[in-house]
Structure 1
Amino acid sequence: MTAFWGIHGSMGEGCSIETMVYPCPPPDRLEPLWRGLEDRCDAGVFRSWAWIGCVLDVFAPRALVVEARCAGRVVGLALVGLGKAAFPGGRPRGHLGETGLTEHDRIMIEYNGVLAEPGWAAQVSRAGLDAVLNAGSPRCGELRLSGVDGQWFDLCRHAGVDWRLLRLRQGAPYADLRAMDATDPLRSLSKNSREQIRRSIRRFEDIGPVGLSRAESIGQSLEWFRELEFLHTASWARRGNAGAFGGKDFAAFHRRLIARTFDQGVVDLLRLSAGKTVLGYLYNLRWHDRVYAYQSGFTHADDPRWRPGLVAHLLAMRRYGNEKISVYHFLAGDARYKQSLSNGSDTLYWMAAYRSSLLRRIEDLARRFLRPEAASGPPTI
């Protein structure tokens, strides 16, 4: 596949964006470019080289890189995985920040988008949409955008492309620790949440002193991650579900992420205990002044006071507040504990962007003919 160059828009200083789309090079060649831009950005952990580099290392996806420059300076980058076409012989679907293969993308990306210098995100995003869905020589039949914020609707409109939702929007609760009690976030929660947590702590104190400890090495992190997997899987099995670890790729990716990024302080394994009794684990991701509560696994008991998840997250929020973390993200989902502990929420969307054309309409007709169940049923991702 040859590279595509295009000029898109400009800033007030008259600096036009030049956009290049090319096959993803080996990770060791892309890394310096990505890290060089990352040092000038704060786009979150899911757009960091820590995450993207691990995706490339573990899955080696067939992918494109979108590179945007202004006066020779890189101002934006994005990885676009190439998935299956809608029908045999069609153009592949592009997947922003993902591999395009369902079994690999179970790792679930959120707060997705392009990596861009401050002030350049909108221009780079629109230029990227235009380059990937270029009317003259489109790279993809559509571009799937998983876990993005609402600005992408306007970005699509300004780029002249259409969009459709792939599933219902989801709230992503968070705790802004700066707006909570500086000494103990428990005091900032509702009366009902405070009482639930205090009852649970008293229950655990019947076993022994309650504490939250941090894994201190890669080896210990991997050991705790295996124990978390066991508890998580057992919890979901009681509900008749395989949970996040249902596919082998999920655990393989995160074991590699732990090994690659523990020394950079990106992964953070926390263990909740009462005396010598382990109650559960949190697997969090840290990036600058934010923490993402990514996965967990806890013990179970038929006791309404047994709420290790609430206690673990509360103690983690207390610890992170003391470490000058600003925001504790619970990520997408409407679990009750997220509502109990949060004081704000973002909205994330899963959508597909595409350029309406005669070829697109032919592809849609072919998809309906070859896959009538997809045409009559809800969109899939």
Structure 2
Amino acid sequence: MSETIPSSEIIVKSHKVNSTTQLLLLKNKWTTLFNRADSKFFLSWRWIASFAHNALDSGYTLYLTEAAHCDETVGLGLFVKTQETRNILFRYTQLYLHKTGDDALDKSWIEYNDFVLDARAPKAIRAAMWSFVISHFSDVDEFVLGVSEKGVCDETSAILKRFLVRDYLHSNGYKLPISADGDTKYKSAQARSQIRRSNKLIEQMGLTFTVSRDIKDYSSAITKLQPMHENTWQEESGFCTGTFVKHMELLTQYNDSTALISAELSDANNVVAVLIGFVHKDTFYYYLSANETSTNNKIKYGLSLHHFVIHWCSQQGLKYYDFLAGDYRYKRSFTDNTLQFSYLFFQRPSLKTKLEHWLRGTKKRLFSRE
């Protein structure tokens, strides 16, 4: 689709957001733009407001960056400014888009990160916003973007082509197209066989599958999910941090056109598997799940629960089941339809950043020879 808003007519400005009272004033502006943007769930008001609320309560100041055309908002983003010292020598002022740079606070892990952009001219608006940001925040050494899809990273890299790029990570994501007739074919024949066998045994055990869009059911599912997730992932579980739990709870407070989904496998007395995700437009975004371990290795609670939710998505008329970023074998067993994601630091050229790049490159070359 051709761009219909000339870049020369886009005006960008920025101001601080210091309180949840100020944050709430953004709702109509954010949801109006989001509803006409080609953005994914993680840029919805529900997710962004929860992130922003959490950040404000943790003492951070937010910088709202807004692009306008003919007095109409066409681009929005929230930044957090922070500082980091690496290797004792290098101290950087950083600007994070929709993140804080605090590992505990960012455990909720935004994906498909970008500005919210009017679908009429996303490239022109993105370019205007980044151009403004690097000029307006002249004290910032590093501008941080991620986790973002490859196309967004490539376009941003082209806009910031004078900047040095520090790669933090690259990862594949998996997105399963859903068949409208409920007969979605999974990539792995072995996985298909395991799921059929597991489903049969689950039925014989009297376990039932339930799925809900109700916010109360979602909150209840979070409570059931937490101990199972912590037991599986130990200290790597987001539930080990209070700010992550708070973010999951805040998602229920900020309503918009998206939906919170919870699914369970259980009998009359026990819940053996829980999954939560989000729905926006034609896509289900799988976010978290955990399950008990069966004594029968033929029973695959996790695979079966995914299968049941995918079938439910088909019944709802959804077209995609997005497993998000993370290259895990169980995702590959469902589909080979992949996306590429990156987390990038764009460094303003300076003696300091060039020296760090040189040292990092030297270290990499030395280790590669061993």
TM-score norm. by structure 2 comes to 0.85
Contact kept, 8 Å, 1:133 with 1:354, in 2: the verdict is no
Contact kept, 8 Å, 1:133 with 1:139, in 2: the verdict is no
Deviation at 1:216, TM superposition (A): 6.1
Does 2:93 align with 1:92? yes
Does 2:208 align with 1:214? no
- Within 5 Å, give how 1:41-80 maps onto structure 2: 41-60=37-56, 61-80=60-79
Measure, in 1, the Cα distance between the counterparts of 2:328 and 2:227: 21
1:32 corresponds in structure 2 to 28
- Within 5 Å, give how 1:179-218 maps onto structure 2: 180=179, 182-185=181-184, 187-208=185-206, 210-215=207-212, 217-218=214-215
Letter in 2 for 1:224: A
Deviation at 1:279, TM superposition (A): 2.0
Deviation at 1:14, TM superposition (A): 7.2
TM-score norm. by structure 1 comes to 0.83
Does 2:106 align with 1:105? yes
Would the alpha carbon gap of residues 86 and 65 (structure 1) be closer, same or farther in structure 2, given more than 3 Å must change? farther
Measure, in 1, the Cα distance between the counterparts of 2:9 and 2:213: 47
Contact kept, 8 Å, 2:7 with 2:128, in 1: the verdict is no
Would the alpha carbon gap of residues 137 and 107 (structure 1) be closer, same or farther in structure 2, given more than 3 Å must change? closer
Measure, in 1, the Cα distance between the counterparts of 2:156 and 2:167: 17
Would the alpha carbon gap of residues 216 and 47 (structure 1) be closer, same or farther in structure 2, given more than 3 Å must change? closer
Would the alpha carbon gap of residues 326 and 253 (structure 1) be closer, same or farther in structure 2, given more than 3 Å must change? same
User: 96-105 vs 346-355, which deviates more?
Assistant: 96-105
2:118 corresponds in structure 1 to 117
Give the 3-state SS of the residue equivalent to 2:304 in structure 1: helix
User: 125-134 vs 194-203, which deviates more?
Assistant: 125-134
1:246 corresponds in structure 2 to 240
Would the alpha carbon gap of residues 31 and 190 (structure 1) be closer, same or farther in structure 2, given more than 3 Å must change? same
Deviation at 1:175, TM superposition (A): 0.7
User: 33-42 vs 268-277, which deviates more?
Assistant: 268-277
Measure, in 2, the Cα distance between the counterparts of 1:278 and 1:194: 24
Measure, in 2, the Cα distance between the counterparts of 1:137 and 1:218: 39
Can you give the 5+ residue segments of structure 1 that lack an aligned partner in the other structure? 1-9
Give the 3-state SS of the residue equivalent to 2:36 in structure 1: coil
Contact kept, 8 Å, 1:51 with 1:257, in 2: the verdict is yes
Contact kept, 8 Å, 1:37 with 1:74, in 2: the verdict is yes
Deviation at 1:23, TM superposition (A): 1.6
User: 86-95 vs 142-151, which deviates more?
Assistant: 86-95
1:83 corresponds in structure 2 to 82
Deviation at 1:265, TM superposition (A): 5.1
Contact kept, 8 Å, 1:165 with 1:349, in 2: the verdict is no
Residue 317 (structure 2) aligned to one of 306, 324, 327: 324
Percent of aligned pairs with the same residue? 20
1:169 corresponds in structure 2 to 170
Would the alpha carbon gap of residues 14 and 55 (structure 1) be closer, same or farther in structure 2, given more than 3 Å must change? closer
Give the 3-state SS of the residue equivalent to 1:138 in structure 2: coil
2:144 corresponds in structure 1 to 144
Measure, in 1, the Cα distance between the counterparts of 2:320 and 2:200: 27
Deviation at 1:183, TM superposition (A): 2.5
Deviation at 1:242, TM superposition (A): 3.6
Measure, in 1, the Cα distance between the counterparts of 2:284 and 2:213: 18
Can you give the 5+ residue segments of structure 2 that lack an aligned partner in the other structure? 366-370
Measure, in 2, the Cα distance between the counterparts of 1:139 and 1:20: 17
